[in-house]
Each structure stands twice: as C-alpha cells, then as structure tokens.
Homo-oligomer: A and B are copies of this chain.
Amino acid sequence: MVQPILYSLFREGEFRQLLETVKKLHPADIVDTLREFPSEEQKEFFFLLPHEQSAAILQEMELPEATAVLAQMPPGAAAEILKRMYSDEAVDILAELPKEKAAKLLTMMKDAGRELEELLLYEEDTSGGLMATEFVAVAENQTVGGTLAYLRRISPSTENAYYIYVLNRDKKLVGVVSLRELVVAPLATRVGQIMHKDVVKVPENLDQEEVARVFDKYGFLALPVVDKKGRLMGVITVDDVMEIAEEEATEDMQKTASVTPLKTSYKNTGIWTLYSKRIGWLMGLILVNLVSSGVIAAFEETLSAVITLAFFIPLLIGTGGNTGCQSATLVVRALVTGDVKLGSWLQTLSKELAVGLLLGATLGGAGWVLGLFRGGFHLGLVIGLTMLSIVLLTNLVGMTVPFILTRLRLDPAVASSPLITTIADAMGLLIYFSIAAVIL
C-alpha cells in the first residue's frame, strides 16, 4: 500500500504528524511510498527520522537502493543506523559500499563494527553470508522460568527469538527449544530436559541454494550455523531464504535464455549492462550456427537440384529446436530442484527415449503428410523420416546435456534454450540432407 499522506505531510512540513504516521506503518509499506519521493527529498526524509526507524526502513529496501541512501548520509548517522540493523542486512550494505567508506564506518561502529568485520569475511551467497549474529542462547542447566526472565530482560528483536539455542560450557550447540515449547513448559524444568538434541544445523560455507533446500525440507523458521568445532556462529532466518528461491529461479531462467544472470533487478539494470550480458552468448552461438551454414554448403548440389528441400528447412530445424528446448528445460529444472538426481540418468534416458519416439511418430506423420502434399511420395518419405529422426535425437540431446553439465560440476542451466536450439539446427540439417541425398 502506497501512503500518499506521508508525502503530503512531508511537503507541508508537518513533521510531528509525519513521525507519528511513520511509527504506525509497516516499514515495507513505507518503502513502497518512498519510491514516489524524488531522490533528493528521500534524503531529507531520512534526516527527519530517528535512527531506529531509518534502520527498520533500510532493512526492507532492495539492496542497491538501501546502499544508495546510506552512502549519501553523513558517516556518523550512517554508522549509528548500521548498528541498529540486523547484522546480516548491515553486512550486505557494507559489502556494496566502496572499500574505504565501509572501513571508515566499521571503525566508527567500534565493537559492533568488529563483529560485522568478521561477518564480511564470508562469501555473500553462503550460509555464513546469510546469517545474523543476533540470537538467543542459554546454558543447558538454565530453567524455563529463568530463560523467560532472561528473555524479558534482553527483550530480543523479533527476527531471531523464535528458537532458543542451548550451549554447553565450550559454547558448542547441544540443543534447541522453540519459544512455544518454552512458554508451555513448567517453569522449574531445566532447558536441557526439554530441548531437542538432534539439532539440524549447517556449516559456515554451505551454498545458499543448499541452505534453502534445508529450510524447504524441514519447514523451519530459522537455522543455526556452526563452525568446525560445532560452536554456534549465527542464525539464518526463513525470510532471508524466501528471497533466495525467487532470486535463484530468476537467475536460472535468465541462464535458460542464454543471458548471463543480472546482478540487479531488470528495472535497475542499465542498457550497457543488458547488452554485455547478452552479446557474448549471441556471438558465441553464431559460431555454432556456422556449422549449420557449413552443412548447407556441403549439400549445395542436393539443394540446387531439389530447391523444394529449402521450404522445409525452418519447419524441420524449428521443430527439432522446440523439442530439445522442452526436454532440456524439464530436465534442468528437475535437476536443480533435486527432483531428479544425477544417478538416475538411465531412467531419465529411457523415459525420454519413449517420449521422443511418441513425439517423433506423431510429428513425423505430420511431416510426411506435408511433404506428400507439397512434392509427392519421395519428398513425403524424406520429410517424415527426417522429422522422426530429428525429434528423437534433439529430445535426447536436450535431456543429456544437462546431465553431462551436472556431472562436470557445471550449472545444468547452461543448457539454455538457445544453445540446445542452435545445436539442434546443425544436427537437423545434417540429418535432413543425408536422408534427402539417399532417397531423392
């Protein structure tokens, strides 16, 4: 919900009322409204707010926008605001800022800065890069009543208070209790007695896609991150992971279309960047296309003799490309989501062999009719047979390439529609002219 009232209060200088309104709104709604503010006035708006509010709003903004806002602020204010943000969000912004600026802010933040500096060492798209260091941990022999009293005293921020982690003397993570379980347990019970001992946890350097899979499997709200010695380093919350699934899907789709994944949203990506993410693939695919040209050149005589053959080139190689694109996309997605495992390539092969035969028979029949109609018995035979072979083969190519890429530890999504289509073109032409040369 955009809140037009915010902007009019701001323009009319009704600052006291403005602050009252901001306090009542959800930060995510304020972010929507801020998009309507001219950028110069956005800056002034943040000047008016208490640091707490600024921190809450910046956390809800997209990273490039939040970084831009923070970069314009006087360093003193920026440091204070960063201190009040969740550490995972603060680190993301600091990583985007110019190195010198980030270093200066970290120094100004003193203790909090040193903690963030450690978080900055993790790769952005790993469990360590996702985790926040705000979590609630108690000792095993603490009572339920004592833990509740402790919670009342520290009044933790919402994001990380749903699970209470239990540590032993060496700071090793030995158990977890949900806030709900704590609330319904007798007050005198020791936490060690009601905690779950088999804590699902992840190591510090797990890829974010794997982290998302763990969340998806167990349906947890938060997941602890431990170091090699089993000590609790931080906690990843489900809201950070929700974004990953969408981000990764967007990246995969871009790869599927032979676009090098954009780092920012499409809207925020400039013309030159869009160009550079696309041109390399298009130029590379031209090289593959030259194989197709070569095939036609090699069969120049056949083609000159029966020019009708040219009519069917788009139909045959087009259908081949479409078939390969279908099987590649189905298999890439199944591999990425873990629906199909690398080990089951043989089952997948036989499945796609069967599907390809059915598709090939149907489309081959259609091609036969079209060829018969256009150029008589022999042409019908050529088109029908070619269609059957092309469909069968491109279907298997589309299915196999993602498996090979996965086996080579490459991203299966590189088996993009344009790549598969272009390979299908070259193969299709070779099959077409070979069959034509024999029959005609």
- Which residues of A pack against B, CB within 8 Å? 24-26, 28, 60, 148, 151-152, 155-156, 158, 161-162, 178-181, 183-184, 198, 200, 215-219, 221, 238-239, 241-243, 245-246, 249-250, 252-254, 256-259, 262, 265-267, 271-272, 274-275, 278-279, 281-283, 285-286, 289-290, 292-293, 296-297, 300, 303-304, 307, 310-315, 317-319, 321-323, 325-326, 328-334, 337, 339-340, 344, 351, 354-355, 358-359, 362-363, 366, 370, 417-418, 421-422, 425-426, 429
**Contact of A254 with B314 in the complex, beta carbons under 8 Å:** no
Contact A274 to B363, CB < 8 A, known contacts A253-B329, A307-B300: no
Nearest residue (CB) in B for A266 is B334
Bound-state Cα–Cα, A312 to B245, Å: 41
Q: Which of B24, B257, B259, B355 contacts A278 (CB 8 A)?
A: B355
Q: Which of B217, B272, B363 contacts A286 (CB 8 A)?
A: B363
Nearest residue (CB) in B for A238 is B238
Chain B residue contacts of A340, Cβ below 8 A: 266-267
Chain B residue contacts of A334, Cβ below 8 A: 265-267
**Contact of A296 with B310 in the complex, beta carbons under 8 Å:** yes
Nearest residue (CB) in B for A213 is B246
**Contact of A257 with B318 in the complex, beta carbons under 8 Å:** no
Q: Which of B25, B156, B313 contacts A180 (CB 8 A)?
A: B156
Minimum Cβ distance to chain B for residue A284 (Å):
10
Chain B residue contacts of A426, Cβ below 8 A: 314
Bound-state Cα–Cα, A98 to B206, Å: 43
**Contact of B329 with A259 in the complex, beta carbons under 8 Å:** yes
**Contact of A362 with B279 in the complex, beta carbons under 8 Å:** yes
**Contact of B429 with A271 in the complex, beta carbons under 8 Å:** no
**Contact of B289 with A318 in the complex, beta carbons under 8 Å:** yes
**Contact of B184 with A359 in the complex, beta carbons under 8 Å:** no
Chain B residue contacts of A310, Cβ below 8 A: 296, 300, 303, 310, 313
Bound-state Cα–Cα, A246 to B216, Å: 10
Contact A219 to B239, CB < 8 A, known contacts A322-B421, A358-B271, A422-B318: yes
Bound-state Cα–Cα, A178 to B215, Å: 22
Chain B residue contacts of A24, Cβ below 8 A: 198
Q: Which of B351, B359, B421 contacts A421 (CB 8 A)?
A: B421
Nearest residue (CB) in B for A200 is B26
**Contact of B315 with A313 in the complex, beta carbons under 8 Å:** no
Contact A418 to B321, CB < 8 A, known contacts A25-B198, A274-B351, A315-B292: yes
**Contact of A221 with B221 in the complex, beta carbons under 8 Å:** yes
Nearest residue (CB) in B for A329 is B257
Most chain-B CB neighbours within 10 Å: which of A152, A215, A253? Answer: A253
Q: Which of B253, B258, B362 contacts A283 (CB 8 A)?
A: B362
Chain B residue contacts of A417, Cβ below 8 A: 256-257, 325, 417-418, 421
Contact A289 to B319, CB < 8 A, known contacts A296-B313, A329-B253, A330-B257: yes
Chain B residue contacts of A257, Cβ below 8 A: 256, 325-326, 328-330, 417
Most chain-B CB neighbours within 10 Å: which of A278, A334, A425? Answer: A278
**Contact of A183 with B296 in the complex, beta carbons under 8 Å:** no
25 A–B pairs (Cβ distance < 8 Å), ordered by A:
A151-B183, A156-B180, A158-B178, A158-B181, A162-B180, A179-B183, A216-B243, A238-B242, A246-B337, A249-B249, A257-B329, A257-B330, A258-B326, A266-B340, A267-B340, A282-B322, A283-B363, A283-B366, A289-B318, A289-B319, A296-B311, A297-B311, A310-B310, A318-B422, A321-B421
A-B contacts besides A250-B333, A271-B351, 6 pairs, CB < 8 Å:
A179-B180, A216-B246, A258-B322, A267-B334, A274-B351, A286-B319
Bound-state Cα–Cα, A417 to B282, Å: 15
Q: Which of B242, B271, B330 contacts A355 (CB 8 A)?
A: B271
**Contact of A293 with B312 in the complex, beta carbons under 8 Å:** yes
**Contact of B358 with A275 in the complex, beta carbons under 8 Å:** yes
Chain B residue contacts of A317, Cβ below 8 A: 314
**Contact of B421 with A281 in the complex, beta carbons under 8 Å:** no
Bound-state Cα–Cα, A215 to B242, Å: 9
Chain B residue contacts of A181, Cβ below 8 A: 158
